[in-house]
Amino acid sequence: MSARKKAQSNKKPKLAVFKFASCDGCQLSLLDCEDELLDVAGAVDIAYFPEATRAVMKGPWDLTLVEGSITTPHDAERIHQIRRQSKMLVTIGACATAGGIQALRNFGNVNAYVSAVYAHPEYIETLRTSTPIADHVKVDFELNGCPINKYQLLEVINATVNGRRPNINPNSVCAECKLRGTSCIMVSQGIPCMGPVTHAGCNAICPFYNRGCFGCYGPKEATNTAAVATRFRELGLNNEDVMRQFRMFTAAAREFEDESVAAEKFEAESLI
């Protein structure tokens, strides 16, 4: 109630949401905040958010949320225009922060994919790689996840509106398992789990359901991927399995990319 009151008296921050190569899932998390959406709408002016409103307010924007990765020459240009108009630019989701699932192309030949998929490949103008936004412009904050956690998104908006740093924990998924009281499934069942090297944020959903962490939130702070890869091999994974553990939704995150490439190299060497 007071959000709206305050909003009427003060000048509200202008929020814009932009999409690049992505599935829209992350920006939809904002609309998924059903209970909180009216408060958000009261606290900020939604200046540009095509998934939610047709209204368009010109920049500059106080808070710009960017979803998706850079995959075309046109987008590589567009992101610079957006950056110039944004006071604070926050990337949301695995695509924007780590290139997304479409970054699997980085490890193959994109032209081969284009000819296999499209009837008229000559109409397709695409880059060889899918890259995170931070490879192109300065990013003020990265919110990881595939998809992002809506409560964390609210926290980022909330922190920005209130002029404080968001409480987003860069520790491991393991810490979340421990806090919620999930017994470690790697230790007690021998299930390979990316938790020890993965950024917290999902509240360790998968181990709770007896499934190893997929690494959706990308690398945690100061990660040691080689150590967990060694453990995976002890648990019976071969090099290809290890490569696949690291080559998922955040395949192009540097630490994960290095480990998946290393696993491929081990495999190639073992075949000599």
Partner 1 sequence: METSSVGNTNTGSIHVLAAADLSALLEAIVAEGYRLVGPRIRNGTAVLDEISGAAQLPRGYRDSQRPGEYRISANGSGETNAGRYFDYVVGPTSVKRFLYPPRRKVLEAERSGGQWKITEPADDYPPTAIVGLRSCDLAAVRILDRVLLNDIYPDPVYAARRKATLMIGVDCAHPSETCFCTSMGGGPSVESGYDLNLTELGDGATHRFLIAAGSDRGEKLMASLRLSTATSDDLAAGAAQRKSAEAALAQNPPMQDAREVLANAWNSTRWDSIAQRCMACANCTMSCPTCFCVDIEDETDLTGEHADRWQTWDSCFTMGHSYVHGGAVRKETTSRYRQWMTHKLSSWHDQFEMSGCTGCGRCITWCPVGIDIREELAAIRTDQKTDVPEAAQ
Q: Is 162 in the site for partner 1 (CB under 8 A)?
A: yes
What is the contact mask toward partner 1 in residues 209 to 248, using x (rule: CB under 8 A)?
-x----------xxxx-xxx-xx-----------------
173 binds ligand SF4 (CB under 6 A): yes
Site for ligand SF4 in 213-232 (CB under 6 A): 213
User: Residues binding ligand SF4: what is the number (CB under 6 A)?
Assistant: 13
Nearer to partner 1, 111 or 210 (CB): 210
Strands across the sheet containing 86-92: 45-48, 14-19, 61-67, 86-92, 141-143
* Residue 224 neighbours by CB under 8 Å, 6+ apart: 197
Q: Which one of 100, 145, 147, 196 is in contact with ligand SF4 (CB under 6 A)?
A: 196
Strands (E), the chain: 14-19, 45-48, 61-67, 86-92, 141-143
Give the count of beta carbons closer than 10 Å to the beta carbon of residue 162: 9
Could you tell me the CA-to-CA distances from 11 to 6, 38, 174 in Å, in that order? 9, 17, 42
Strand partners, 67: 19, 92
186 binds ligand SF4 (CB under 6 A): yes
Find the part of the chain contacting ligand SF4 (CB under 6 A) among 71-79, 137-145, 184-192, 233-241.
Answer: 184-192
Q: Where are the beta strands (DSSP E) in 103-182?
A: 141-143
270 binds partner 1 (CB under 8 A): no
Inter-residue contact 207 to 201 (CB < 8 Å): no
Distances in whole angstroms, Cα of residue 105 to Cα of each of 63, 108, 109, 146: 31, 5, 7, 18
Fill in the per-residue mask, 42 to 81: x = in contact with partner 1 (CB under 8 A), - = not in contact: xx--------------------------------------
How far is C-alpha 118 from the geometric centre of its chain's CA atoms? 27
Q: Are strands 14-19 and 61-67 parallel, antiparallel or unpaired?
A: parallel
Non-local CB neighbours of 54 within 8 Å, separated by 6+ positions: none
**Residue 204: contacted member of partner 1, ligand SF4, none (CB under 5 to 8 Å, by partner type):** ligand SF4
Nearest-approach distance from CB 57 to partner 1, in angstroms: 20
Q: Which of 117, 187, 271, 272 binds partner 1 (CB under 8 A)?
A: 187
- Tell me which residues touch ligand SF4 (CB under 6 A): 173-174, 177, 182, 184-186, 193, 195-196, 204, 207, 213
- Tell me which residues touch partner 1 (CB under 8 A): 2-3, 6, 36, 39-40, 42-43, 154-155, 157-159, 161-162, 164, 167, 169-172, 174-175, 178-190, 193, 195-197, 210, 221-224, 226-228, 230-231
